[in-house]
Each structure stands twice: as C-alpha cells, then as structure tokens.
C-alpha cells in the first residue's frame, strides 16, 4: 500500500491564474516531498490550457522559504545527503523553463534554497517592510554552484552585492535587493498578494505562444545551456556535501550555533 505524504502546497485557480501557497510551518523548509510536490504542480500548470500565469506565495506570515530542511538532510546517510539538493536543482529547472508567465510573491525571508527557487521566476515581488534575501551557502561550509552565481550575476545591477552575498553570506534587506536588481518591485506587505495577483492577471492576457518564445530566448541569452549547467551543479554539490566543512555547517545550523571551521 503506497504511503501518503502530507500536502505542503495549497492550490487555487483564480480565473486563468494558478495560485500556489506554500504551507510547511514554521518556515517552509524544503524537504524532498515538498520539492517534488512543487515540481509536480508546475508541470500540471504548464500542461493546463486554462492556466495562463502562475503565482507562488507563502501562507506563512514571516517566511517565503528559509531554505532546505537541515534536519531531514542530516538524518539521511552521508552518501544520500546530496539527494535533496538534486531535487532543488530539478525544481529550479522546472520553474526556469515554465513556458508561461510566473511571479514569486516574496512576503518575508527567502534564504538559501528559498532564494534559489525564487531566482527561477520571471518576476519577483518583495514585501517592503520585512523582505530579505540571502544566498549564504558559504556559512554552511558549501558553495553556490557556478550556474547559480552566473544567474545572480545576470540579474544584478550591482556586482559588488553578488560578491558580498556569495563570498560572505550577506543578507540583503528589501531596498538593497531592489537596488541590486534581484527583485522587480517592493510592495507593502498587506497588499502584496492583491497587487501580485493583479499583475498576474495582466500577464495572463498576453499571447502565450509569443511569451513562451520570448522567455526561451531571454533565458538562453542570460543563462546559456541550462541542462549542462544543472548537470555540472549537481556534480559541484555532490563534491562538497560530504566534506568536513559541510558537515560542521549542517550540524551548527541544526544546533543553532556558529560553526567552527578548521
């Protein structure tokens, strides 16, 4: 008898807009089941002829997503700890290649894997009061992959911020994220969903075939060969994840202390 997994994503259809709301308290940490659910819902929306735009939001007031579920990773045998990162990269591919308009309504913190997920969207709207983004893998003893650093560099208005984020793990506040080119708009938190939905409905009126072609060309111009980069990224994660610095980084995060790298 198959084992049923909990649903971490709510789905609502508002006209031609598919609204997905992540809901895995306390902070939408991403485990394998969560990542696979999201990927499946993106595939469904891509194939649904009545869906013309996808909006991803969070049901939690403070977090879009705080990143990977560290407890779940640590509980895996060492040789399998790469698997959740592979699933994250597969989701990033699914979001990036989604052929219709897509919006991430980031209502709070988007850290690590949560920000990687957000990077794949066409448009990113951030809560003005408490929005924060970070790609701080360095603090966990691992590195963002070449592909992710390239994607950050492609969207950045300030290359110095990319360096601060990936080399030091700097967290950007909302205005810094906007000024740096990482998000498209700041919206007051109380009206984030309403304004994001309004924008999604506007995008849904565009010609879908033309949009898909423009999106494909735009992504290829910015990102190059995504499939080859995904493969290389998996190899990069695999080479780092079992190292002593990564093990100390994960353990420190689980124990809520500063890591001690030797």
Using the structure block, give the residue that is written with the tokens 């705080």. Answer: 66
- Rounded to the nearest angstrom, the gap between the alpha carbon of residue 159 and the centroid of all alpha carbons in its chain is 20
- With contact defined as beta carbons under 8 Å apart, do 157 and 216 qualify? no
Q: What are the backbone dihedrals phi and psi of residue 49, each rounded to the nearest 5 degrees, phi first? A: -65, -20
Q: Which of 30-34, 85-89, 139-143 is predicted least confidently?
A: 139-143
Q: What are the backbone dihedrals phi and psi of residue 111, each rounded to the nearest 5 degrees, phi first? A: -115, 150
All domains of the chain in start order, with CATH:
9-190+206-211+223-254 (3.90.226.10)
pLDDT for res 53: 99
pLDDT at 1 over 50: no
> What is the DSSP secondary structure assignment for residue 182, as one 8-state letter?
S
Secondary structure class of 30 (helix, strand, coil): strand
Using the structure block, give the residue that is written with the tokens 């709207």. Answer: 125
Structural element, H or E, at residue 172: strand 171-173
The model carries a pTM of: 0.93
Tell me: the pLDDT tens digits for 40-93? Answer: 999 999 999 999 999 999 999 999 999 999 899 888 887 888 899 999 999 999
Distance spanning both ends of the chain, measured CA to CA: 47
Average predicted confidence (pLDDT) for the chain:
93
> What is the DSSP secondary structure assignment for residue 68, as one 8-state letter?
B
pLDDT at 3 over 60: no
């Amino acid at each position: 008898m198959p084992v049923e997994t909990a649903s971490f994503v709510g789905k609502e259809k508002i006209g031609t807009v598919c609204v997905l709301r992540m809901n895995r308290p306390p902070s939408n940490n991403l485990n394998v089941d969560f990542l696979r659910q999201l990927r499946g819902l993106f595939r469904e929306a891509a194939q649904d002829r009545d869906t013309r735009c996808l909006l991803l939001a969070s049901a939690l007031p403070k977090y879009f997503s705080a990143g990977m579920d560290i407890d779940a990773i640590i509980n895996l045998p060492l040789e399998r700890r790469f698997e959740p990162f592979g699933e994250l990269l597969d989701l990033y591919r699914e979001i990036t290649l989604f052929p219709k308009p897509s919006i991430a309504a980031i209502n709070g913190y988007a850290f690590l894997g949560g920000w990687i997920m957000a990077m794949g969207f066409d448009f990113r709207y951030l809560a003005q009061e408490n929005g924060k983004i970070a790609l701080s893998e360095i603090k966990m003893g691992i590195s963002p992959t070449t592909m992710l650093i390239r994607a950050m560099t492609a969207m950045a208005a300030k290359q110095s911020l990319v360096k601060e984020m990936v080399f030091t793990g700097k967290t950007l506040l909302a205005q810094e994220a906007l000024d740096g080119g990482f998000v498209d708009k700041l919206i007051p938190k109380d009206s984030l969903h309403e304004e994001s939905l309004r924008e999604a409905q506007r995008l849904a009126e565009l010609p879908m075939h033309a949009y898909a072609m423009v999106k494909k060309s735009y992504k290829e111009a910015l990102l190059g060969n995504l499939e080859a980069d995904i493969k290389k990224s998996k190899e990069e994660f695999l080479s780092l994840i079992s190292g002593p610095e990564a093990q100390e980084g994960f353990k420190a995060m689980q124990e809520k202390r500063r890591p001690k790298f030797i």
